[in-house]
Structure 1
Amino acid sequence: MISLFRRKTKSYGNVLPITVDMHSHLLPGIDDGCKSFDESIGLIKELIALGYKKLICTPHIMGDFYRNTPEIILGKLDQLNDIIKQLGLDIELGAAAEYYLDESFMERINKTEQLLCFGKEKYVLFETSYMNASPHLENVIFMLQSLGYTPVLAHPERYVYLFENYKQKLHELHKKGVLFQVNINSLSGYYSRPSKKIAEYLIDEELVSFLGTDMHGQRHFDFLLKSRETNYYKKALSQQLLNNKLL
């Protein structure tokens, strides 16, 4: 006898898979991501097996911790692309950066230095302190936009300072023209329960522009497999994500 109480599986119709990842730390040896070319290639092969066609590497640029420059990042990208070509891997590899909102980032903006960005809309991926809201956030958003960039806030679901009254704060940021990139692994509770809750809220409100792996290593990939099976991942795929427009 078929149970009347069997849980129904939610259906979101024919959804297209994500073929472009725009947040990863696959360039080895320059931040807290991959440590070697072997590790990078191993993860790239696994992402190819999941259907990814393009990977945009976004190493940290953060004050005195990760003092990366366009020259360092693009040089490492060239090295990794050479290996990919030698191995005959079917993947397009690009690079931008994940900028930390600190004094050095503000100096770059004030000096109108060319920022590492991606897409025709000149998307700039940035993050903030996890614990404390920056008093310069609104000014940075305005300045980026005035310079022709489109600000993309990395993993807004993870910022502790947004946990209280997050609904109002996130809507306010979105109205200012900030796009949101949610980490796929947030959907399986990898980071924290509050992060999972906020990620789900952003999807419910259709405020997510990008889903990213934020891939740092094998552990992230292992959880990615679980996260891709969640209903909220499938729900996000049914929305107007911008990932595949970067192909």
Structure 2
Amino acid sequence: MAFSCREVIDIHAHILPGIDDGPAALEQSLALGRYYARLGIARVICTSHFIPGTAWAASREIVLEKMAAVQDCFDSNAVDVTLLPGMEIAFHRKLVERLEHGQLLPLAGSSRFLVEPSFNDGVDELLETLEILTGRGYGIILAHPERIPAIQEMAEAVAGFVLKHGVEIQLNAGSLLGRFGSDSRRTALRFIDRGCVQYLGSDAHGAEARRPPDAGEWLELERIAGSDRLRQWCCSNPAGLVSGE
């Protein structure tokens, strides 16, 4: 059976306005919502950046307020897209402390947190912290690790680590489509071959630049990954998050 977007839940999207490098204003969030609706994608998890010490570090309360305002806008404009809460949490040294104090949002009310590795640092401290967190029962999903230079250099070791410790991986659709270069694509395919990928997200930032895959690109993703894997990554596993599994 050919892949359909009707059951897709996008677990990684920058759709809230004025909060990071996603939409600057509500009108742009509305345009992105309409784009999702045209594709047939009806559920989207809002994963605004949380980067401590920068302007992109909105509290969980602000994220929830923004999400409610955008949802009201969608509803009043007959955009059939339901928003769910979350954050893309940049790895930082106070990550354990902030999680312990309940300051960060998991994805869709689940027990899993989306953590973005640093683009500039090595991975030793990241892996040490992930081992602590998984040991304490936290569910961690790594956001697009295939795009991280240090991880690209040691993809095999990272694959072994995540399989051992139960850390999950979310690839960007754009990585498989070649949007982020050959190194990202090659690393994504390596993770797929190792069987350590659980999710494929759009990492959308707008309805124009860095938008979700269009209909033709979904066909290409199906060709690359196969219908069964694509449904698992984009439909079944995200549905488990939303239902609290």
TM-score band w.r.t. shorter chain: 0.7 to 0.9
1:94 aligns with 2:84: yes
**Distance in 1 between residues matched to 2:117 and 2:40, nearest whole Å:** 31
Change (3 A) 1:190 1:80: same
Equivalent residue, structure 2, for 1:44: 33
Aligned with residue 95 of structure 2, among 80, 100, 105: 105
**Distance in 2 between residues matched to 1:41 and 1:201, nearest whole Å:** 36
1:243 aligns with 2:238: yes
Equivalent residue, structure 1, for 2:182: 193
**Distance in 1 between residues matched to 2:127 and 2:52, nearest whole Å:** 20
Equivalent residue, structure 1, for 2:113: 124
Point out the more displaced range, 197-206 or 147-156.
197-206
Change (3 A) 1:63 1:204: same
Q: What do the CA deviations read for 1:120-175 (whole angstroms, capped 9, x no partner)?
A: 65110001111322443234323433454310000011010012231232222232
Change (3 A) 1:84 1:204: same
More helix by share: 2
**Alpha-carbon contact 2:48-2:86 (below 8 Å) kept:** yes
Q: What do the CA deviations read for 1:173-209 (whole angstroms, capped 9, x no partner)?
A: 2321110000001111111111011112223333211
Change (3 A) 1:233 1:100: farther
Which protein has the larger Cα radius of gyration, Structure 1 or Structure 2? 1
Aligned residues: 234
1:60 aligns with 2:55: no
Instruction: Give the letter aligned to residue 230 of structure 1.
Output: E
Counterpart secondary structure, 1:77: helix
TM-score by length of 1: 0.85
Point out the more displaced range, 17-26 or 34-43.
17-26
**Distance in 1 between residues matched to 2:213 and 2:75, nearest whole Å:** 28
**Alpha-carbon contact 2:159-2:194 (below 8 Å) kept:** no
Q: Percent identity at matched positions? A: 28
**Alpha-carbon contact 1:97-1:117 (below 8 Å) kept:** yes
**Alpha-carbon contact 1:26-1:40 (below 8 Å) kept:** yes
**Alpha-carbon contact 1:61-1:68 (below 8 Å) kept:** yes
Counterpart secondary structure, 2:153: coil
Instruction: Give the letter aligned to residue 61 of structure 2.
Output: E
Structure 2, gaps ≥5 residues long: none
Compute the RMSD of aligned alpha carbons.
2.3
Change (3 A) 1:230 1:167: farther
User: How far off its partner does 1:226 sit?
Assistant: 5.4
Point out the more displaced range, 66-75 or 219-228.
219-228
1:167 aligns with 2:156: yes
Aligned with residue 19 of structure 2, among 25, 30, 41: 30
**Distance in 1 between residues matched to 2:198 and 2:220, nearest whole Å:** 18
TM-score by length of 2: 0.85
**Distance in 1 between residues matched to 2:109 and 2:212, nearest whole Å:** 32
User: How far off its partner does 1:114 sit?
Assistant: 4.5
Instruction: Give the letter aligned to residue 68 of structure 1.
Output: A
Point out the more displaced range, 52-61 or 88-97.
88-97
User: How far off its partner does 1:16 sit?
Assistant: 5.1
Counterpart secondary structure, 2:210: helix
**Alpha-carbon contact 2:49-2:89 (below 8 Å) kept:** yes
Structure 1, gaps ≥5 residues long: 1-12
